[in-house]
Structure 1
């Protein structure tokens, strides 16, 4: 089911009367966002943050050292597309198979990765731009063995039928260039020569053209990146 409409303070039926408290682990590489997530989860009656850190491998290592009484019931997982390596879907699958529910918190900058972790068995995806009450409602929904789909994710998936498949480097080049970076800056960020960065973007344009969505200018690429969820829409004033 898709969980919608639950107030931020509403727990699943009977959850607050349980003898134990729900244990939550947080994986988020941005310190300020991680601290805010800790505060948000910790403020909910019946929830305890039992682990908080930067990477999924760190969490998996910690899980090997603790007993069942410390293991989280749920992991709130940032995909970390913008900083450091992306989450490995196989590691997500390991978590799910161990009985831990996984709720992805994503900026939706890599829809392909979101699709991969969904296939790995995560219980839901909530957008980083979603209201905090939706994040909390998603947590309670997943703890109640439901599923949560962010409206933003639904929009991206619905638009995915004519979305070309890009390689990781092509996707990164598109995001950087469509965000306003110069070709030189794109090359530097990717750790390649300028000519190589140009080739990546040429391939991106060719793939979009083959999908019937040609992009001739930087502005065209920006529009396509927004439509396909590679970029967040501009903040409203």
Structure 2
């Protein structure tokens, strides 16, 4: 049986089923209000995690907040949604261009700011349901605005090494976790450093490696140590 795509949904005139991933209820209530009078789009489900929203499948488009309390990265969240056949639109305040770049590299179709007009949100969902890029100035700025953040392609094994080592583990502990020797881990680290050097993004120290891992979505952005007020944690 042929898989039904987002293009099929729009071509057949069926309602676009939208999922929303956000840690807070207020943005979800806002999207509910925006979509309630729209005949061809329905907010089918919402959750605070990717796994939670995928439980509401089938879905055509997901609005994804960049920073979630479960510690996941935009890259892995977009990858998971893409593997499930769901188009992803980042829905954010736009304060973290590095995270937007990470989501873009993983295959997100675009970004919509939480301050955007209702018509912009609706048009973005319709475009994503057709598999089209959601072209906004914020998206273009995030992707093209910083030439020093050239993409670095790492194999799955190198991704694991970078994430573990940059998080504070020693070469020995990384090797034990991955079932390789410390010497092998050090060789992997040399490859990682060389790839970043070739991209013009040197990693001379362990702190540099941590920064690169966050910039490229291999590690989540550290949470601010603030009170849990809605205004100062909203992304």
TM normalised by structure 2 equals 0.56
Give the corresponding residue for 2:130.
144
* Counterparts of 2:63 and 2:108, CA distance in 1: 10
Give the corresponding residue for 1:79.
66
Q: Indicate yes or no: 2:85 matched with 1:99.
A: yes
What is the CA-CA distance between 1:32 and the residue it aligns to? 1.2
- 1:120 aligned to which of 101, 106, 111: 106
- 1:51 aligned to which of 45, 54, 57: 45
* Counterparts of 2:90 and 2:120, CA distance in 1: 13
Q: Secondary structure at the match of 1:149?
A: coil
Give the corresponding residue for 1:215.
none
Q: Secondary structure at the match of 2:122?
A: helix
Q: Is the 8 A contact 2:23 2:47 kept in 1?
A: yes
How many pairs align?
A: 158
Give the corresponding residue for 1:225.
none
Q: Indicate yes or no: 2:19 matched with 1:25.
A: yes
* Counterparts of 1:88 and 1:144, CA distance in 2: 22
Q: Is the 8 A contact 1:79 1:86 kept in 2?
A: no
* Counterparts of 1:123 and 1:172, CA distance in 2: 21
TM normalised by structure 1 equals 0.55
What is the CA-CA distance between 1:57 and the residue it aligns to? 3.2
What is the CA-CA distance between 1:158 and the residue it aligns to? 3.3
Change (3 A) 1:137 1:157: same
What is the CA-CA distance between 1:105 and the residue it aligns to? 0.7
Unaligned runs of 5+ in 1: 1-11, 64-69, 177-187, 191-231, 233-237
Question: What is the root-mean-square deviation of aligned Cα atoms in Å?
Answer: 3.5
Change (3 A) 1:84 1:17: closer
What is the CA-CA distance between 1:102 and the residue it aligns to? 0.9
Give the corresponding residue for 2:163.
none
Change (3 A) 1:99 1:156: closer
